[in-house]
Structure 1
């Protein structure tokens, strides 16, 4: 059945708005070429979207042509402000942007869970308030249109809420309600951090050419996001990708329903990688904080100095601690080999079940390891599985969660605002 005129107009308008979002300002002629619509149809939709306040003339094309230059149309970016949050166990980061993704303000604060739930929530909400004020979106508390939050843990697919998970701070769940109270007119939503990282890598990072892939998050904790045929898969309980609980060889026990110790997390979680780095003399002797796990891998890839270790064959360092050259040495290579062995165990299990064709190493570890780590994992995978799988290093690193949260907030706002014209 052919679409009704009003439905056809809605489809054409959304197509034009999507192109303006993705490619920036365009002329009516360029919209005609990109959409395949007739000249009168494009003229009608441009007039309709302009009258609705969704697009406006932002300049001229500057093309060589007879007569006046063609007008460039762009989305009215300041019709909505969006906020994106990356909520970790001990910190919160925020970005505030306009509708086309231009960052207007950002910030980050440490959060001390031992201070109590109320103090942690208040500190995080104050951060968002400051960023909104800096972006000019504070006002009466209702000018933030949409807030997207990325957090560790499971998201209930039925309610869209963060589930009460063992090992995660209880203030995470309270934060969502507190933000909704502070910005009552805003649309507040939460998504698993690894899922958001996969979305960001697909839209802006290394997986832009893939409709099917798995992102393996390697940082403070480990997790996986599964994208099949362009769709993010969450599972019946929202637990798709909880790979930290995967039983694997090389651990001292088995995981339990409330503790992933003994699972894959015990091999590739931050604490495990830091301990592995110590074994191979990679990084300073006091390397212990979870946040430096990416730095330990970066040191190995870049050939920065390793800790002195008797009998390890480390390269000499200058008096100021800098390596005489920046080429990885044998200890670095052995560390990367051992780390690749561990990562490949979990990747092989994912590949055997899903056959995604591509695995992206994300979090702090993947981008820090770059091609040096990704090629090692891929080589081991070829020996372990008959399924051809490309392994890529993520390009967005820790910023992927914020970027993914911003993308989801922007899409949600556009779904509402772009449906606004009277058809």
Structure 2
């Protein structure tokens, strides 16, 4: 049964909007070529979408740059404003963008462990409100939040997790109360980082891979056949609890001490570096583990021309080898179970380690598993969580607005 005229128009509109989202501004002839629709049909849909306020003329293209066929149409960026949050145990970072993802404002605030729940929530919500005001956003359409812990697959809510501050869960509810017209959603931080690496970072050519998060803590995200996998309880990727050799004991249901976290968390990496006489001062908000890895990589790269105060190349080389042995344990475990073909070393440690650390992990992995597994360094580092939160907020907003067209 053929589609009704109204259904056909809706399908064509969504196709054109998707192309404008993925390809950027396009002319009417380009839309005709990409959609396969007739010239009159494209002319009708362009006029319809422009009248609805979803697209607008954003420039001109072509050699002569004049006439209807030269007009470049793009998504109306100011149709909605979005916010993305990266919620950590030690603070919150936020950015506000328009509908096409252009950042309008960004800010962060530290939240100490001794801050009460109410004060911590108020500080975080106030940060969002100030960023929105700075961006000139009268109201936020969608807010995407990345947070540590488990996200209930059924309800989409942040579940109780041991070791995480109470204000994390309370923050989502208060944001919804203070921003009643906004769509607020929360996702595990490592999952968002994986989505960002897939869209904009190290895994752009992969539809199956595992992101091994290496920051203050550890985690993993699993993308299989283009889909993020969360598991029955939302716990896919809780690799910090993975029992591994080389620790003092075994993890428990309430504490990952003794698991992979005890080998690859920032504190563990820092302690390993100190055993080799390597210390470094972290940048603002950076895990110390990332700072010592950066110092070691620079020393190895510098060779004999090492700056004063930097670790000796041989010392740095031994430290990076020892760290690679640890990381290969986690990578080999996910490779044996999932056979992803690619492991991305994410987070701040994965980014500062770069190709130097990734190559060492890959060589050890070759000896531990018969399954061919490429190891890549993160392209986005700790900023991947905010990028992932923004991408999901943008997709949610566009889905809502485009669906109304």
TM (norm. structure 2) is 0.95
Deviations 1:84-113 (A, max 9, x none): 000000110000000000100000000123
Distance (whole Å) between structure 1 residues aligned to residue 71 and residue 281 of structure 2: 62
* Alignment correspondent of 1:275: 271
* Alignment correspondent of 1:254: 250
* Alignment correspondent of 1:57: 57
* Alignment correspondent of 2:189: 193
Distance (whole Å) between structure 2 residues aligned to residue 133 and residue 58 of structure 1: 25
Q: Cα–Cα, structure 1 residues 78 and 317, in superposed 2: closer, same or farther, change >3 Å? A: closer
Distance (whole Å) between structure 2 residues aligned to residue 344 and residue 356 of structure 1: 14
Distance (whole Å) between structure 2 residues aligned to residue 125 and residue 416 of structure 1: 24
Indicate if the aligned counterparts of 2:241 and 2:261 stay in contact, CA closer than 8 A: yes
| Pairwise CA distance, 1:3 | 4.4
Deviations 1:44-102 (A, max 9, x none): 22122112110011221133489666111111110100000000001100000000001
Indicate if the aligned counterparts of 1:299 and 1:305 stay in contact, CA closer than 8 A: no
Tell me if 1:101 matches 2:101: yes
SS for the counterpart of 1:361 is strand
| Pairwise CA distance, 1:296 | 0.8
Indicate if the aligned counterparts of 1:82 and 1:144 stay in contact, CA closer than 8 A: yes
* Alignment correspondent of 1:309: none
Deviations 1:190-230 (A, max 9, x none): 00000000000011111111111110000111000000111
Indicate if the aligned counterparts of 1:278 and 1:285 stay in contact, CA closer than 8 A: no
Which piece of structure 1 moves more, 86-95 or 58-67? 58-67
| Pairwise CA distance, 1:5 | 3.8
| Pairwise CA distance, 1:2 | 5.1
Superposition map of 1:29-108 within 5 A: 29-64=29-64, 70-108=70-108
Superposition map of 1:274-313 within 5 A: 274-284=270-280, 291-303=287-299
* Alignment correspondent of 1:176: 172
| Pairwise CA distance, 1:9 | 2.7
Q: Cα–Cα, structure 1 residues 68 and 192, in superposed 2: closer, same or farther, change >3 Å? A: closer
Superposition map of 1:22-421 within 5 A: 22-64=22-64, 70-137=70-137, 139=138, 143-284=139-280, 291-303=287-299, 318=308, 321=309, 329-421=313-405
Distance (whole Å) between structure 2 residues aligned to residue 330 and residue 244 of structure 1: 30
TM (norm. structure 1) is 0.91
RMSD: 2.2
Which piece of structure 1 moves more, 47-56 or 81-90? 47-56
Deviations 1:119-142 (A, max 9, x none): 0001001100110100111x4xxx
Indicate if the aligned counterparts of 1:211 and 1:227 stay in contact, CA closer than 8 A: yes
Deviations 1:282-319 (A, max 9, x none): 224999x972211111111111899xxxxxxx99764x
SS for the counterpart of 2:73 is strand
Structure (1 or 2) with the greater helix fraction: 2
Which piece of structure 1 moves more, 238-247 or 18-27? 18-27
Corresponding pairs, count: 403
* Alignment correspondent of 1:311: none
Q: Cα–Cα, structure 1 residues 209 and 8, in superposed 2: closer, same or farther, change >3 Å? A: farther
SS for the counterpart of 2:381 is coil
Indicate if the aligned counterparts of 1:113 and 1:120 stay in contact, CA closer than 8 A: no
SS for the counterpart of 2:399 is helix
SS for the counterpart of 2:145 is strand
| Pairwise CA distance, 1:404 | 0.3
Indicate if the aligned counterparts of 1:315 and 1:329 stay in contact, CA closer than 8 A: no
Question: Which runs of no fewer than 5 residues in structure 2 stay unpaired?
Answer: none
| Pairwise CA distance, 1:43 | 1.8
Deviations 1:310-357 (A, max 9, x none): xxxx99764xx468xxxx711111111111100000110101111111
SS for the counterpart of 1:115 is coil
